[in-house]
Amino acid sequence: MTALDDALGDVYTEVLRRNPGELEFHQAVREVLESLGPVVAKRPQYTDAAVIRRLCEPERQLIFRVPWVDDAGRVQLNRGFRVEFNSALGPYKGGLRFHPSVYLGIVKFLGFEQVFKNALTGMPIGGGKGGSDFDPKGRSDAEIMRFCQSFMTELYRHIGEHTDVPAGDIGVGGREIGYLFGQYKRITNRYESGVLTGKGLTWGGSQVRTEATGYGTVFFVQDVLAARGASFDGRRVVVSGSGNVALYAAEKVQQLGGVVVACSDSSGYVVDDKGIDLELLKDVKQARRERIAVYAAESGARFVEDGSVWDVPCDVALPCATQNELDGGHAETLVRGGCVVVAEGANMPCTPQAVRVLESAGVVFVPGKAANAGGVATSALEMQQNASRDSWSFEHTEARLAEIMHGIHERCLETADEYGRPGSYVAGANIAGFTQVADAMLALGVI
């Protein structure tokens, strides 16, 4: 662990005291604070106005009961969350996660990260996150709909296009956004398209939103490679997960000439040196909602049950599943296998130990705040189209996404240089995101 100077150490101690047991939130805060030493040394006004302390305290945290009835007529009970973290730059913006592991500490880590990520995009959006400990696996379509309707029956009073604009995350895709939007519309009697993003293309959605997080991550890595005179052409790439982010990261890698040799889900991984058949994988995972072993059986790829996808040697690793999925041991394996770049498509998939191993071995590491910001940036483009009642072409929207990712890449490197950490995407992303939000907070007074 990097030592924190006195002022930042005090902030961290206070975060631990006020948020007991929320380990992921502690980890996310610590990771940002470790980058801020040079900033507080240069700009004491942030400490004087308690900007960092205030940034670590969400503006509002909502926890609510979500009762619903399953197909057998039994009453089920889940817990819903929405953490409205920071609105200095715009309405709270960030996804909803439905997964049994969800609790307040996970929602707060995600909301905290989102504040800096959204600032980095340069777009007028604050940060928030939400979700539920609901497990969608094995649930029928009708059960998913009833759950979403119950969830929105509470959430609707807290959100709005100028207040808080949720989107998808793990377990929440186009189907769930549809049921959530339908219930919002029904309760409020308003066709307020800008209240949710990730909508279907025929009812207010944006081209490229589905692909944006994965594509954006790969655009970022393309810039990283180009800065070293290299490209994706012929590179072996391993992607973890096989959900929204993973599938479209894999698609863009293939379009750019790379070979995706392995991907995974929570049951294990598949590996195929010839490259994954993406059309089949999409059919298995998106259309049929099956496990990845079914893909292996139908494609002839090798399936390794409960194995670690990081055992597969590669040039570029894209963790796109979930937090803390790549630890120090996995990082050592990647280094031994010749990996040169690790970029986080997921939020905080690499443990602090993994990041240390990668950086000390000279592997380029790109944190999720920068690498996966294309999803929320395209959500902001969806909001722009909703506000102007317009819809843009796929090509135009993808070009905007590429331009935004290129801008984030430049900003990270310039900021890292300015604060004496040349080449560090971690320092660049944390400091650039932080100063943007902190300056707005200073301007808005003590609120």
Question: Which residues are known catalytic residues?
Answer: 129
The residue among 366 and 441 lying less far from ligand NDP, judged by its C-beta, is: 366
Distance CA(431)–CA(183), nearest Å, equals: 39
The residue among 97 and 185 lying less far from ligand NDP, judged by its C-beta, is: 97
Q: Should residue 245 be labelled a site residue for ligand NDP when binding is judged by CB under 6 A?
A: yes
Contacting range for ligand NDP; rule: CB under 6 A; set: 176-184, 188-196, 236-244, 383-391: 236-244
Contacting range for ligand NDP; rule: CB under 6 A; set: 61-69, 240-248, 354-362, 387-395: 240-248
> Interface mask (CB under 6 A) for ligand NDP, residues 159-188, using x and -?
---------xxxx-----------------
Residue with tokens 């005179």: 229
Q: Closest by alpha carbon to 315, among 251, 367, 258, 267?
A: 258
Number of other residues whose CB lies within 10 A of the CB of residue 70: 14
Using CB under 6 A as the binding rule, the residues of this chain from 260 to 279 that contact ligand NDP are 265-267
Q: Closest by alpha carbon to 171, among 79, 244, 68, 248?
A: 244
CB of 336 to ligand NDP, least distance (A): 23
**Rg, Å, the chain Cα set:** 21
DSSP string, 372-438: TTHHHHHHHHHHHHHHTT----HHHHHHHHHHHHHHHHHHHHHHHHHTT-TT-HHHHHHHHHHHHHH
Q: Figure out which of the listed residues 90, 241, 258, 428 binds ligand NDP, where binding follows CB under 6 A.
A: 241
> Interface mask (CB under 6 A) for ligand NDP, residues 358-387, using x and -?
--------------x--x------------
CB of 366 to ligand NDP, least distance (A): 13
Q: How far is CA 232 from the centre of its chain?
A: 23
Contacting range for ligand NDP; rule: CB under 6 A; set: 50-58, 242-250, 389-397, 402-410: 242-250
Number of other residues whose CB lies within 10 A of the CB of residue 20: 9
The residue among 37 and 113 lying less far from ligand NDP, judged by its C-beta, is: 113
CB of 292 to ligand NDP, least distance (A): 7
Q: Should residue 150 be labelled a site residue for ligand NDP when binding is judged by CB under 6 A?
A: no
Count residues near ligand NDP (CB under 6 A): 23
Using CB under 6 A as the binding rule, the residues of this chain from 319 to 348 that contact ligand NDP are 320-322, 325, 345-347
Q: Should residue 244 be labelled a site residue for ligand NDP when binding is judged by CB under 6 A?
A: yes
Distance CA(95)–CA(90), nearest Å, equals: 15
**Backbone angles phi and psi of 377, in degrees to 5:** -60, -40
Buried b (16+ CB within 10 A) or exposed e, 248-262: bbbbbbbebebbbbb
Given the rule CB under 6 A, which residues bind ligand NDP? 168-171, 213, 241-246, 265-267, 320-322, 325, 345-347, 372, 375
